[in-house]
Structure 1
Amino acid sequence: NHVEFEGPATGQVMYEWAETPSKAEVGAEARLGKTGRSVAPPSVLLLVKRGDDKLLKVAAEAVQNLTALDIDILLHPELSAKMKHYFGVDSENIKLFEPLLVPGYGGSHLKPRGMTKAQLQENLEKHRDRYSSSDDTDAGPDLICTLGGDGLLMYASTLFQGPVPPILCVAGGSMGFLTPFQQEEMVDAIATALGIVKDEETNESSIDEGPAYFPGGGVEPVAARPIISPSYTDEEGSQWSGLTEHPDFYDDQYLKPKFKFGAYNRICLSMRMRLDCRIVNREGVVRARFSVLNEVVIDRGSSPYLANLECFCDDVHLTTVQADGVIFSTPSGSTAYSMSAGGSVVHPAVPAILVTPICPHVLSFRPMVFPDHVVLRCYVPDDARADASVAFDGKARRELHRGDSVQIQMSAHPVPTINRMDHSSDWLNSLKRNFNFNSRVRQGPL
């Protein structure tokens, strides 16, 4: 559940379970790995859209089925209390989830309000232990499942400003552009993503030790949590820079479709890049820091005047913005606010940062796309008529005073979302389903 970029990546990434035996005893013996050491049960952080009783019922039924497979379910205290009170869902496999403060991130960069220095230090130590300890019991969830809309995925992203576990998105919102899984397949999808298989004869479940991230066949199970790399070496020693076409999928023993969720024990991931955004004052002190999945928007806020901003790319002056504002977007966010403002629609696997003006008072300011390795900076000059405002994924709005700047670059920690088919199929299907992409009555023949 520790995923990092080691460099720009454009190809498809997947992980595969090195071994999924057909039979295994469920219980204490199933918790002994091949090395004989105790293996913690797999854990899933379940997030559910608030205020929807139908989704709460779906989630309660899913929790009952998943805990029966000896899977630990992490729930927010409020959600856990509702499930227990309204549906009688209670199990020793249900754990409470408390988000930990990520060092250096958030609106109060030094210390959140109401938190003492001792509490802050304790939280920081817990966060360091979560990602540096070899103890599986404190390594965070193995999987995140969101039951809701696209906004819930962005909320999940805010819970993990550093490394993010794979996220399985189940549709429960109004649009569902980023939620390819249906509610009726939720339990099976989670089990498949965790490498749990049911024996056809006994209906028992078996759990493998852990995922081996895809470099080819014959990979040994690993006890440590590996890092997904954008490039691999297969058995014959040839180097791949991303999975765009794999010969094994065309072997006679395999059936179409080319990519199918969980087929051949391989799970396709979309590595959705995030933006690492920092608010810096004129003295060079970082006031706040956020990781955003969709976009960071710098606008005029409540001011009646145009936003006056100076934009730089790698410390080279890019342009002067005189507009309602400007959007810095990820490829995932290219179909959100940026698209509404006239920006390009970009495939989620393209490593890029989009710059889209909002109602510029000029005819020649066009949307632009930059490579992911650049550092962009937007500065409020001293001669601006008014202060500006900045929002991160539509939340955490902050005032930008004269002399303040926002520094934007690619984050080292992407959001890995699990695809139902593959990243192109899911994305194109969403474009057609939600936006009627290029839909027109076909011209008849002569």
Structure 2
Amino acid sequence: MFRQSRRTIHVLRDQPTPSLERLSKRARLLPSSPIELETSSSSRILSFPPSHALSSWSAPPRTLLLVQKPDDSRVRSTMESVLSHLTTRYPHLRLIVEPHTARDHPEFHDLTVVEKEDRALLGLHTELILTLGGDGTVLHVSNLFGQGECPPVLCFSMGSLGFLLPFHIDSLAEALHTTLTGPVPVLNRMRLACTPVSASGEVLDRCSDMIVGDAGWQVMNEVTLHRGGQRPLVVVDAYFDGQHLTEAVADGLLLSTPTGSTAYSLAAGGPISHPETDAFLLTPIAPRSLSFRTVILPGRGVVKLQVSDRSRAPAELLVDGREICMLHSGESVIIAKSPFPIPCIERSEGGNSWVRDINSLLQFNVGFRNKSLAPGGSGD
């Protein structure tokens, strides 16, 4: 538990709960209105903005959650500069931090600390999120807001590779100013809502760590059933909208979002998907079959992954790489498209960041070149 020192440290649970009226007036990024276009025939059509179209604030943001990668000296030093800039340039913002950030920076006053047991309160107090670190910090944000709606996320990298980090830390001042004043492009990254259930359809109490709210737990990358350890292959039945789709005899089976297509799914042999695709990717992990390939399913449906009665071992349930619980024969996890995506603020220049990332990070479709044929090569 974070202990208060001589400086002014506020604990989130001690802050007044916002009234319903105040919550209704909280700052939100709302998509721009449909653009009215006039064609050569003088007829008018409406062009609806894509998911990453410009969005504007309904009111000026007043609270900012800072999420930094822990136990990293470079990130710690950079966060000091970020806090200095924020407290100097935007003194009206209430800054919310995790305990390790408050401990790392004792020179900053009037911070609000959210302890682990108070994370469910973040949705009531947070209007904007700033992350500093790698892609893992964004997954951590999804976990922090795993019970429902997630505020807009502004992600900064420090030169490290990452698919979810459109801004470099060198652009902090400009990016933060643009974000706080708007309008900004926003990419709504799909999340999955998953709930583990018993053979009779009841929510599994032993997996209570992931059950928050009626919508289940919100997952950004993937939901996985895996044999884990030294257990034999698991047998998992996959259902789509109540119909039996296939039986997987494999190390495991995972269902990923388009954002998660470049994570575990890609390592397991799955395809690359644009993050705006409205689909699920069902990918086997080392299947006992040469013909089992990724199945792409429409995002409107419901997927059930059930441990088969023929399985000789239980399956380990993981969400975004976190171990949740073991599912036994007849038990399953129900997965649907979440009503709460992750709204990621994008750069307004330089084109689509996803296109840039698959080329720069994955070296997409880059062939092998014979150096002897390149200019200056020996040709021997």
Normalising by the residue count of structure 1, what TM-score does the alignment of the two structures yield?
0.66
Distance in 2, matches of 1:170 and 1:57, equals 14
Once the 2 structures are TM-superposed, how far is the Cα of residue 81 of structure 1 from its aligned partner? 2.3
Structure 1 equivalent of residue 201 of structure 2? 284
The aligned counterpart of 1:322 is: 249
Q: Which has the higher contact order (CA 8 A, sep 6+)?
A: 1
Pair 1:98–1:15, CA change in 2 (3 A): farther
**Counterpart for residue 61 of structure 1:** 81
State the aligned residue count.
316
The answer for the alignment partner of 1:151 in structure 2 is 136
Mark the runs of 5 or more structure 2 residues left unpaired by the alignment: 1-26, 32-48, 212-216, 374-380
CA contact (8 A) 1:297 1:326 kept: yes
| Counterparts in 2 of 1:56 and 1:346: CA distance versus 1, 3 Å | same
Question: Among 34, 46, 57, which residue is 2:66 paired with?
Answer: 46
Partners of 1:355 and 1:165 in 2: how far apart?
A: 28
**CA distance in 2 between partners of 1:17 and 1:304 (Å):** 51
Q: Give 2:333's aligned residue.
A: 406
In the TM superposition, residue 74 of structure 1 has moved relative to its aligned partner by 1.1
Report the structure, 1 or 2, having the larger strand content: 2
2:118, 2:294 → 1: CA distance? 35
What residue in structure 2 maps to residue 231 of structure 1?
none
Greater displacement, 383-392 / 322-331: 383-392
Does residue 239 of structure 2 align to residue 312 of structure 1?
yes
CA displacement, residues 165-209 of structure 1 (integer Å, 9 cap, x when unaligned): 0001100374222111111212332222111xxxxxxxxxxxxxx
Pairwise mapping of residues 349-428 of structure 1 onto structure 2 (< 5 A)? 349-421=276-348, 425-428=352-355
The alignment status of 1:74 with 2:96, answered yes or no, reads yes
Distance in 1 of aligned mates of 2:291 and 2:86: 56
SS in 2 for 1:416: strand
Q: 1:381 Cα deviation (Å)?
A: 2.1
Is the alpha carbon distance of 1:352 and 1:4 closer, same or farther for their aligned partners in structure 2, counting shifts above 3 Å?
farther
Give the counterpart of 2:186 among 269, 287, 290: 269
* 1:91 matched residue in structure 2: 109
Question: How many angstroms apart in 2 are the aligned matches of 1:411 and 1:2?
Answer: 19
Native 8 Å contact 2:30 2:57 kept in 1 = no
Residues of 1 paired with 2:225 and 2:30: CA distance?
A: 28
Q: Which residue of 2 aligns with 1:189?
A: 175
**Contact kept in structure 2, 1:298 and 1:390, CA below 8 Å:** yes
Give the Cα–Cα distance (whole angstroms) in 2 for the partners of residues 293 and 49 of structure 1.
18
The one-letter amino acid of 1:146's match is: T
Cα distance change, pair 422–315 in 1 and its aligned pair in 2 (3 A): farther
RMSD: 2.7
Q: 147-156 vs 50-59, which deviates more? A: 50-59
Query: Where in structure 2 are the equivalents of 1:169-318 lying within 5 Å?
Result: 169-172=155-158, 174-195=160-181, 265-287=182-204, 288=207, 289=211, 290-318=217-245
What amino acid is aligned across from residue 282 of structure 1 in structure 2? A
Residue 72 of structure 2 aligns to which amino acid in structure 1? D
- CA 1:194 to 1:322, structure 2 compared with 1: closer, same or farther past 3 Å? same
Change (3 A) 1:268 1:99: farther
| 1:300-335 per-position Cα deviation (integer Å, ceiling 9, x unaligned) | 122432111111101101001111111100000001
Percent identical: 34
Corresponding residue for residue 226 of structure 1? none
SS in 2 for 1:436: coil
Is residue 30–residue 56 contact of structure 2 (8 Å, CA) maintained in 1? no
Mapping of 1:424-443 within 5 angstroms? Answer: 425-440=352-367
What is the alpha-carbon distance in structure 1 between the residues aligned to residue 354 and residue 145 of structure 2? 24
Say if 1:381 and 1:402, in contact at 8 Å, map to a contact too.
yes
Kindly state the Cα deviation for residue 56 of structure 1 after the two structures are TM-superposed.
Answer: 1.1
| Secondary structure, aligned partner of 1:194 | helix
Choose which of 15, 19, 41 in structure 1 pairs with 2:55.
15
Contact 2:253–2:284 under 8 Å retained in 1: yes
